[in-house]
Structure 1
Amino acid sequence: CLVPLLSREAFVQALGRLGVPFVQCLAEADREIAGLANRWGCPVLSLDSDFCAFDLAGGYCPLSHFQWQSVAAGEGPRGCYVPARCFSVEKFCRHFGRLDKSLLPLFAVLNGNDYVEPAALEAFFRKAGRRGKHGRLQGLLSWLAQFAGPGEAVDSVLKCLKKHQREEMRGLLCAAMEDYTPSDVNLEDFFQKGRYECEAARKSGLPRWVLDALAKGELAPFISDALILRSTFLHVQVENMQRPSAHSTALPIRQVIYGLLLKVPRNTEAASPSKQTNELPVVCEFDRLQKTLKKTFVQAASLPTDFCDDHFPLDKLTEVPMSCRLMLLLETLGVKMSFLESIPSHLQLPVAVTCYWIRCSEPKVKLHQLKALLLMIVSGELHSITNDPDPTIGRAEDDSIAYNEFLKWKEDKLQNKDFDLDAAHSFCQWQCCLQMGLYLNQLLCTPLSEPELSRLYNGTLVHRLYQELKSTPSVENLFSSSPGMTQLYQVLLNTVES
């Protein structure tokens, strides 16, 4: 299942708007979620069935079993509620007789996870006998029920393997089972004191401000992947698989990000010989080549003098003057601040990214694609103005008229199912550029305001606008009832075309 490229960023923004506290874990979050749930006595809400193997005091509630459309009217102080199901380890184990819950991590591992492939244990499953997915699961649980604990069960599993395989497999099984043990990291401290302390963070060697920003979701996991793993994974979208990956357009932006993250001080007299070189750091990127996954080594960009200065390594990046950080962002995107001065502050970053997209995309952006994108951005602005809950903000009558006309147009036109793959590819390129523009802006401590992503981009809408513009150019006047929105559209268009 493909999710929109900017889903994570839109979700983080939504949590912020709603005032929902959250923490972004540095590594796999399952163990830390389980630890916090047990500390608070709460169930875990998730779609990850791995939580069935955790010993959770409050149980596990699969999000797929929430009846969101059936809100029930409760009595007393608890009020209304959404019916759901809660998985209990104790009840599950009772269903299989004497099955000890400490054996569930081994059950999960034997069925295959990131560490142990089922094929590696094929000899064991052949002896277990049962066929079919459900038959094998039931047989495995019934078989595990005869053991008092995981140690005894592991020994029995290993007897089915050749002697030279046993110790290596024992290590793999034990390491994998650890992943189903609730963490002793006290995430409660983060929600109370704003500090995230864990072993992975201590071992990472990352600057304090980077760790704090990662925990607060102010920096994306892409940043920690590049810093710690020296590798990044670029997610595929609905794009033209015969063309180069949509992410290739944003490569120069990523290279600047890598340069900021991995730059080596020039004064290296005390450095090891391997570091006394002028070679730039390299990051391994995983991206698609047509329909296959390809690994590419990408060299970080050489940074301007201000950022190469040894006084500003990564841990001191926040001390670089704001004007220098803004200049690096704008130079990377190929725009000048003077071009953006007529643009509302919250749209300056997406407009700068759009200028970059027009200049760097291949094949070149078509005018109808550009206009569709800008009309979509204006529609988001109109929605914000007419639906702002703040009663002190006045709403012009012409904005309301324009918005109602737009809603009627959208209702009529969204039935059109025509799909242009090349246009989709171009809009994917824009999203890739916006994503990396956001990441660079965040890494530079937001010299430009962040746009509200849920209002900024709507894939279905931009495709419909593009299709309509090809056949009915007058759609460009969609917001003519609102002088303010008409002016905004013209300002945006003039800026990106200049």
Structure 2
Amino acid sequence: MGVHGLTSYVEGNQQFFTDLKLRNSHLVIDGCSLYFRLYFTSGLDQARGGDYDAFALLVRRFFTALSSCGISAFVVLDGGMDESDKKFKTLRERAQSKINEAHTLSLGYHGSVLPLLTREVFRQVLGELGVPLVQCISEADFEIASLAHHWSCPVLTSDSDFYIFDLCAGYLPMKFFEWENVCGMASQRYIPARRFTVNRFCSHFNHMNKQLLPLFAVITGNDYTQAKTTEMFFSRVDLPMVPRRRGSPSNPRIEGFLRWLSAFKSPVEALEEVLAILGSRQKASLRKQLTAGIKDYQLPQTSSLAQFFSNPQLRTRDFLRLPAALMPQPDWLLKQITSGSLPPLVLDVLVLRRAFLIAQVENSRLPSSHEASLNIRKTIYGLLLQTGRGVSEQARSSNAQCFVEEYDRLVLNLRRTPVEVQPPAVGHPQLSLNTLDQAAVNVRREVLLRTMGVMDHVLQLVEPHLHLPVCVTHFWMCSSTPKPSPSLLQGVLLGVVYGELCRRLASPGDPLHTCPSTTLVCQRLDQLRSSSSQRRSIDLRVAHSLSQWQSCLWVGVYLNQLLGFPLHEPRCPWLFSGTLLHGLESVLKGGHQAESFLAGAPVAMQLYSTLLGAVQGFGLRDHSAVQRGRGRRQRGTPGRGRRSGRRGGVSSAGDLSNRFWQLNCESDD
């Protein structure tokens, strides 16, 4: 939620805080606040699609610091939109704001846009580290506060609502959490922090009743309060004068209102006075609205999430309150949602039949980059909403229509577009959502490959964890408008090679861990990143095309998750680095050969050849291209044939790209 103006007021008055040396403690972490803050305060790229490899290392460092101090972290993520829709206006305003900021970044100015795959990278790193994580059904603030209250441990977040929740162990604002400054020796290591408690805060306002703070939050204005109610109250109330204090930021409205409230003994008495000041003819309706807002801050004695963390095998419906739309959903689906293995998009579609598509930095004069991934999203919507009938021929011919409202960019405006739900192309009785987890792997794999337009034999020579990136890249080449250039395709695949080599170099048990030639290749590629001096100038053609690729990967990962991982989940931190790909595109477009960057490392050269050959794999309907491909393979083309795979030969990037354009998705065009 968030109380308007409260963070800047409280954080600007240090007397509200006490110093804390945090160690040997549980810590409940607001996961969304954490990954936003880590990304935005680290100087990582935003304008070129993000540097996920650097972000993953940052997340690892953060949790390593906590572990070194004996701090047990429990991460809670936001889920989907609230079924009451009371925050819908706020969500639209934020989406429009991000469109504007993405456009500002595209022009080379400052802005703040979280790269598209940040949440997935964060989730995957936590999984690798074994950090306990739960995803809520909707907004997580109340569940986070309830868990910290139940465990009597502090909360780490950046949300001003936690200045209202009464937590005995307090709230640790991320701004004052010095995780990069671990102090002390051995078992006495600690992280310096500053702690806020409601008791200390209220003592500065004539020891006011802390139960008055929820009314303060609701009237001051949060994401659920109507702005006209707030403005009407403050235009009519006579607040005490606030003295100016040197060195302390002042907010006369907030401080004056707190002083005014401190005169009341109980929240009931204060609420009656507020209603009298508002003087609304609809007093009963307003009382109900304000009372509901106050209840959002009243914590229960026990937390449902505590049950989940102590026993992750519990059924979701046994420990979380579910909206009506989720009550009939199968247990396997709810379990995947709460574990974070399915995204908030799934919840939004199931509960509200709505999807907000995340703004990216792209060419705002062209259609949104998310148009490239529309057919993947349609398959996701079909699997989610056409349960029990979406796989039959009868359903295909039915007049009954189902739509998902998508909110996306049109030029620089947020636009609502109804997207008709389509059943998956593969017909099978177990593709009903209720039994999807029981469908054979080959059936679920066929749904995914058909959606991507890829035939199974194309993936034979590719490592399993790279199957999905290959499918996504093929789909991207077919569905994007304008078509990606040959040099950009080479750059994307070189980026995957770079990530794969770096991943293996970072794995002590891997044969490449101490390989000098592999290290040299990674260093050579790393030097091609766009430098900080170049970053104000953005090639919008490249940015737009790479945003299309990310959009395809984003929903491709989600489709794979929904289908129960018929393909291995790709390691997202190693797949995309925006500064590297922009730098690579620049030198490749200038005439450099892709192979020149891999010279001296046969493993890297073979991987690049295999990926490029696989991406050139033919679509489901392009039979004539298959025949042409067979002829080329007989003339020594490397790629799909077993013989060429054993030899490891590599043709020039130019030759491979020219062949790609001859075969490029003729039927789809």
Where on the TM-score scale, by shorter chain, does this alignment land: which range?
over 0.9
Match of residue 182 from structure 2: 71
Match of residue 382, structure 2, among 236, 240, 259: 259
Match of residue 167, structure 1, among 279, 284, 290: 284
Match of residue 382, structure 1, among 473, 479, 501: 501
Distance 1:66 1:328, change over 3 A: same
Deviation sequence 1:81-136 (CA, Å, 0-9, x none): 22111111100000111311111111111121222123223221012356998110
Q: Does 1:442 align with 2:442?
A: no
Match of residue 247 from structure 1: 370
1:412: Cα distance to partner? 8.5
Q: Does 1:300 align with 2:421?
A: yes
Give the structure-1-normalised TM-score: 0.92
Secondary structure of the structure 2 residue equivalent to 1:85: strand
Mapped to 1, the partners of 2:431 and 2:590 lie a distance apart of 53
1:201: Cα distance to partner? 5.8
Q: Does 1:318 align with 2:437?
A: yes
1:415: Cα distance to partner? 5.0
Match of residue 311, structure 2, among 173, 183, 193: 193
1:395: Cα distance to partner? 4.0
User: Which one-letter code corresponds to 1:190 in the other structure?
Assistant: F
Q: Does 1:20 align with 2:142?
A: no
1:278: Cα distance to partner? 3.3
1:392: Cα distance to partner? 7.3
Distance 1:264 1:73, change over 3 A: closer
User: Which one-letter code corresponds to 1:232 in the other structure?
Assistant: A
1:204: Cα distance to partner? 2.1
1:233: Cα distance to partner? 0.8
Secondary structure of the structure 1 residue equivalent to 2:367: coil
Mapped to 2, the partners of 1:157 and 1:235 lie a distance apart of 39
Query: What is the count of residue pairs matched by the alignment?
Result: 485
User: Which one-letter code corresponds to 2:383 in the other structure?
Assistant: L
Contact 2:506 2:513 in 1 (8 A): no
Distance 1:141 1:396, change over 3 A: same
Larger mean Cα displacement after TM superposition, 243-252 or 114-123: 114-123
User: Which one-letter code corresponds to 1:180 in the other structure?
Assistant: Y
Contact 2:357 2:407 in 1 (8 A): yes
Contact 2:389 2:432 in 1 (8 A): no
Mapped to 1, the partners of 2:369 and 2:461 lie a distance apart of 30
Q: Does 1:5 align with 2:5?
A: no
Deviation sequence 1:49-91 (CA, Å, 0-9, x none): 111110111100011112233221257x4x2222111111100
Secondary structure of the structure 2 residue equivalent to 1:250: helix
Match of residue 219, structure 1, among 342, 345, 369: 342
Contact 1:236 1:288 in 2 (8 A): yes
Match of residue 43, structure 1, among 129, 143, 154: 154
Match of residue 620 from structure 2: none
1:472: Cα distance to partner? 4.3
Deviation sequence 1:265-301 (CA, Å, 0-9, x none): 349xxxxxxxx95323211111111111111111111
Contact 2:356 2:406 in 1 (8 A): yes
> 1:309-458 counterparts in 2 under 5 A?
309=429, 312-390=431-509, 395-407=514-526, 409-410=527-528, 416-417=534-535, 418-458=537-577
Secondary structure of the structure 1 residue equivalent to 2:534: coil
Contact 1:256 1:303 in 2 (8 A): yes
Contact 2:530 2:580 in 1 (8 A): no
Secondary structure of the structure 1 residue equivalent to 2:195: coil
Secondary structure of the structure 1 residue equivalent to 2:265: coil
1:487: Cα distance to partner? 1.2
Contact 1:280 1:302 in 2 (8 A): no
Contact 2:472 2:553 in 1 (8 A): yes
Match of residue 234 from structure 1: 357
1:496: Cα distance to partner? 1.6
Mapped to 2, the partners of 1:221 and 1:495 lie a distance apart of 32
1:317: Cα distance to partner? 0.6
Match of residue 15 from structure 2: none
1:413: Cα distance to partner? 5.5
Match of residue 180 from structure 1: 297
Contact 1:287 1:293 in 2 (8 A): yes
Contact 1:10 1:453 in 2 (8 A): yes
Contact 2:162 2:171 in 1 (8 A): yes
Match of residue 204, structure 1, among 326, 332, 337: 326
Deviation sequence 1:381-407 (CA, Å, 0-9, x none): 110121213377764332233234334
User: Which one-letter code corresponds to 2:540 in the other structure?
Assistant: L
1:159: Cα distance to partner? 1.0
Mapped to 2, the partners of 1:416 and 1:125 lie a distance apart of 48
Mapped to 2, the partners of 1:456 and 1:428 lie a distance apart of 14
Secondary structure of the structure 2 residue equivalent to 1:239: coil
Secondary structure of the structure 2 residue equivalent to 1:238: coil
Secondary structure of the structure 2 residue equivalent to 1:399: helix
Mapped to 2, the partners of 1:370 and 1:129 lie a distance apart of 65
Match of residue 268 from structure 2: 151
Match of residue 190, structure 2, among 73, 81, 84: 81
Secondary structure of the structure 2 residue equivalent to 1:293: strand
Match of residue 95 from structure 1: 204
Contact 1:286 1:295 in 2 (8 A): yes
Deviation sequence 1:317-365 (CA, Å, 0-9, x none): 1111111100000000000110011111111101100000000001111
Secondary structure of the structure 1 residue equivalent to 2:414: strand
Mapped to 2, the partners of 1:443 and 1:266 lie a distance apart of 18
1:188: Cα distance to partner? 1.5
Mapped to 1, the partners of 2:223 and 2:365 lie a distance apart of 31
Contact 2:505 2:513 in 1 (8 A): no
Contact 1:378 1:488 in 2 (8 A): yes
